[in-house]
Amino acid sequence: MNKLEKGDQFDVEALRKQVSDIEARGDTGQEKPSDPTEINPYARQIAEQFRDGTNSPAIIIGQLRLLEFLALFAIALVVHYFWPGDGNDSLLVRAGMAAIASALTVIGLQLADTYTIPALRAKLRLMPRIVVSWAIALLLTVGLFALIRGTTWAMVEAYTPWFGAGALFLAAERFLVAYGIRNWARNGLMERRAVIVGGGEPAKDLIRVLEQQADNDIRICGIFDDRGEKRSPIMVAGYPKLGTVAELVEFVRLTRIDMLIIALPLSAEARIYDLLKKLWVLPVDIRLAAHANRLRFRPRAYSHVGSVPMLDIFKKPIRDWDSVAKRGFDIFFTIVALALLWPIMVATAIAIKATSEGPVFFMQKRHGFNNEIINVFKFRSMYTNMGDPTGKAAVTKGDPRVTRVGRFIRKTSIDELPQLFNVLRGDLSLVGPRPHAVLAQARDRAFGDVVEGYFARHRVKPGVTGWAQINGWRGEVDNDEKIKFRTAYDLYYIENWSLWFDLKILFLTPIRLLNTENAY
C-alpha cells in the first residue's frame, strides 16, 4: 500500500472545488426538474417503498442521552424521599448532586462508546461498561461532596439505594432500547438508505463488504449506472440496476434517501467529476467508497459506514439536530410574528375585500424542498380575473393587473405575511431561499435554463425571507443576471447556515424592506 502525505488529499479536494465552482458558473448539466427524466416502472415501484422517512440515529441517540440524564436525576430525588439517610442532605443538595452525577454518567457513557447504534443493539455485552460508568460518576460526585461537607455511615447507607436504583434502571432501559432498535431495524424504521452509483465489480465488492458487517444499518435501495449491460450487469450482488444517473436524480426526488455512494476508483477522476456535476444538487450525502483504493489518506480524511472508509464529497445541509433546532426557531419566531402582526393582517384582509371582488388569499404552486411542489399562501394583490397562478408572467412596474391595495402590500411585502401559516404547516422555513413559482421565468427562459445550478437551492426548505432578499435581490427578474445573483446568494446561505445566520437575516429583513426600489 502506498501511504500518502498531507498534500495527497489534493485530488479529492480538487474534485470538490471543481463542483463548487460550478455553482458560480452554472454549467452543471443536470436534468431540469421542469423536464425530468422519467424513471422506469420498476424503479418507480421501488421508489414507492422509500417515500416515508426513517428515524435518524443521531436524533435517537440525542434523545436517549436526555432520557438517561432526566431519569437518573429523578431517581435520585425519589430515593432521597424514601431513604433520606441522616437527614443532613436537603432536597436542594440532593438535586445538585443528582444533576452532577447524571451529567457525569452521560459523559462517561459517551467516553465508553456506548452511544452508537451497534452498542445500543447489544443487550448485555456492554452492560459492564454502563454500570462502571454510573458507579464512577456517583463516586466522584459523592467524593466531591464528602470533601466539602464530610460524610457519615448514614449517608453511605442513603447513597447505596441510589446506586442500586440507577444501575437497575440503566440495565432495564438499555435492554428495552436494544429490543426497540432491533425491531425498528427489521421494520425499516431506523436505517440509513443508500444508493450505489456505478455498477460492475467495484459495486459488487462494496456490497459484499457492507453485508458482512455485524449490526449493519445500511439499506441498499438499488444501483444506478450509465454504462451498458456488458460492463454493468442488471443485477449486482442481488441488487437491481434501476436506471441511469439522470434517472437517479428523479428517483432521489421521489424518495427519502440518505446517501449516494460512488463505487468507482479514485483514478476515474473524470467520470467521478461528471457524476458530481449531476448529483450535487440533491439534498443527500455523497460519498466516495475508498475500501478498494490502493492509495490511503490520513485517518481524519475518512468517514466510515460501519468499517468501510468513505471520502465525504458533499454532506446534506441542515441535518439531524440542526434541522430540529431550525424547526424550533421557525415555530417560536412565527408565533411571535403572528402575535405582533395580526392587526396588520386583519386590516389587509378587510382592505382587499372592500376594494376588489374575489377572495382575500391567493394560492400559488411553487418549488419546495427537494423540488416538491407546495402551495404557498399570499394576500391577493391582483384583480381576480387577471391573476396568474402559474407565475409565468411576472409582475412589472405599473402592471395593470395589480389592484390599488395590491401595489401597497407588494411594495411593503405585506402580501407575503400569510406564508407564516406555511411555516407552521412545515412547507416553508422563516429563513431560506425564496420559493419561486413552478413556471417562473427570466424574460422568456425558465430559471433552470438560465442557471443550471439553480435547483441546488432546493437542498433546504425554502423561506419567507432569505439572504438574497436582504441583499437587494427581490422583485422582478427581468434579466439573467438577477436570477444568477439570487442563486449565488442562496447557495452561500446553504453552505454557511447557522441559527445565528438565520437570526441576523430575520432581524435585518424589516430594515431592508424599507428599500422598495425593485418591489412592485
Give domain status of residue 518, yes or no.
no
Cβ 500 vs Cβ 455: under 8 Å:
no
Pick from 325, 321, 266: which is nearest to 292 by CA? Answer: 266
Q: How far is CA 494 from CA 100, 281, 450, in A?
A: 38, 12, 20
C-alpha–C-alpha distance, residues 466 and 486, integer Å: 10
Dig out the grid coordinates for 492 from the structure.
452561500
Cβ 281 vs Cβ 306: under 8 Å:
no
C-alpha–C-alpha distance, residues 519 and 516, integer Å: 5
Co-location of 116 and 87 in the same domain: yes
Give domain status of residue 422, yes or no.
yes
Give domain status of residue 520, yes or no.
no
Domain housing 195:
2-27+38-54+191-316
Each residue of 166-192: pLDDT tens digit? 999 999 999 999 888 888 777 767 778
Torsions phi, psi for 367 (to 5 deg) = -80, 130
Left (φ > 0), alpha (ψ -120 to 50) or beta: where does 499 sit? alpha
Co-location of 43 and 63 in the same domain: no
Give CA angle at 444 (442, 446), nearest 5°: 60
Tell me which of 132, 159, 187 is where a domain ends: 187
Burial of 186 (0-12, 13-18, 19+ CB in 10 A): exposed
Considering the entire predicted model, what is its pTM? 0.78
If one counts every other C-beta atom within 10 angstroms of the C-beta of residue 20, the result is: 14
Give domain status of residue 32, yes or no.
no
Give domain status of residue 293, yes or no.
yes
- Quick one: how far is CA 142 from the chain centroid? 41
Tell me what pLDDT residue 80 has. 82
DSSP E strand stretches across 198-289: 218-224, 235-236, 239-243, 259-262, 285-289
Co-location of 248 and 335 in the same domain: no
Give domain status of residue 517, yes or no.
no
Tell me which of 187, 208, 227 is where a domain ends: 187
Co-location of 307 and 326 in the same domain: no
Co-location of 99 and 195 in the same domain: no
In one-letter notation, the amino acid at residue 455 is F
Co-location of 367 and 487 in the same domain: yes
- Beta-carbon contacts of 212 under 8 Å, excluding residues fewer than 6 positions away, are none
Co-location of 244 and 113 in the same domain: no
C-alpha–C-alpha distance, residues 238 and 266, integer Å: 25
Pick from 393, 334, 389, 395: which is nearest to 366 by CA? Answer: 389
Give domain status of residue 90, yes or no.
yes
Co-location of 361 and 482 in the same domain: yes
In one-letter notation, the amino acid at residue 180 is G
Each residue of 3-29: pLDDT tens digit? 333 333 334 454 445 445 544 444 444
Tell me what pLDDT residue 69 has. 96
Co-location of 156 and 206 in the same domain: no
- Beta-carbon contacts of 491 under 8 Å, excluding residues fewer than 6 positions away, are 23, 453, 456, 457
Tell me which of 297, 316, 335 is where a domain ends: 316
C-alpha–C-alpha distance, residues 393 and 12, integer Å: 43
Burial 331-343 (b: 16+ CB within 10 A, else e): eebbeebeeeeee
Cβ 173 vs Cβ 71: under 8 Å:
yes
**Residues of the chain predicted below pLDDT 50:** 1-12, 14-16, 18-19, 22-34, 520
CATH number of the domain enclosing 203: 3.40.50.20
DSSP-derived secondary structure for 136-195: HHHHHHHHHHHHHH---HHHHHHHHHHHHHHHHHHHHHHHHHHHHHHHHHHHTSS-EEEE
**The residue count for the chain:** 520
Number of domains in the chain: 3
Give domain status of residue 33, yes or no.
no
Sign of the C-alpha dihedral computed for residues 130, 133, 137 and 138 taken in this order:
positive
Sign of the C-alpha dihedral computed for residues 122, 126, 130 and 131 taken in this order:
positive
Co-location of 409 and 483 in the same domain: yes
Co-location of 349 and 459 in the same domain: yes
Q: Which helix (H) or strand (E) holds 362?
A: strand 361-367
Co-location of 129 and 259 in the same domain: no
In one-letter notation, the amino acid at residue 449 is D
